[in-house]
Amino acid sequence: MAIGLLEVLLESAKGLANTDFLGDIDPYVIIQYKAQERTSSVAQGRGGSWTWNERFTFRVEYPGSGGQYKLILKIMDKDTFTKDDFLGEATIYVEDLLAQGMENGTAELHSRKYSVVQADGTYFGEIQVGLSMTHKVEVETDRDFGGWKESDF
């Protein structure tokens, strides 16, 4: 099993469903990879187009257990006085990217648009994301210091 870093560039979104009674939505994204989760800031923008331009890093193992090599991007609407609304989600399968990155040292999926799927299964809007993967070389140290052993474990 090899270890790497998966970097997600969350760029922008447009055409998201408007769930706000009073007007514009305030979208943010919860990005999940296996048990890891990152949350973006609330996006800047109005009129159906929002921008983040934020980077998030996830530790990845390939091949790893579970076999679910996917990023899930849950788009939420930040509400002040009520529970935040679910706007939709996009799923990005990254197994090929991880395999290529582990083999070549790095791999990249250039920025592209992914469809946003609402809770009822309909498509509504899109989110733009770029991905890169870097193979991380783990250095094991196991040195003796006058009878004492130093280890990274």
User: Could you please report the per-residue DSSP string of 86-98?
Assistant: EEEEEEEE-HHHH
Check residue 33 and give its pLDDT: 95
Asked, for residue 91, whether it belongs to a domain, the answer is yes
Select the more confidently predicted residue: 118 or 47: 118
- Letter string b/e over residues 70-96, b meaning 16 or more CB atoms within 10 A of that residue's CB: ebebbbbbeeeeeeebebbbbebebee
Residue 149 confidence (pLDDT) above 90: no
Asked, for residue 125, whether it belongs to a domain, the answer is yes
Asked, for residue 50, whether it belongs to a domain, the answer is yes
Residue 147 confidence (pLDDT) above 70: no
Q: What is the pTM of this model?
A: 0.85
pLDDT band, residue 24 (cuts 50/70/90): confident
> Tokens in use for 118?
């609402």
Asked, for residue 142, whether it belongs to a domain, the answer is no
CB within 8 A of 76, min separation 6: which ones?
27, 28, 29, 30, 84, 85, 86, 87
Residue 148 confidence (pLDDT) above 70: no
pLDDT band, residue 138 (cuts 50/70/90): low
Residue 58 CB neighbours (<10 A): 19
Asked, for residue 140, whether it belongs to a domain, the answer is no
Percentage of the residues of the chain whose pLDDT score is greater than 90:
65
Range 95-108 average pLDDT: 93
CATH number of 120's domain: 2.60.40.150
Asked, for residue 105, whether it belongs to a domain, the answer is yes
Question: Please, are residues 13 and 75 in contact by the beta-carbon 8 Å criterion?
Answer: yes
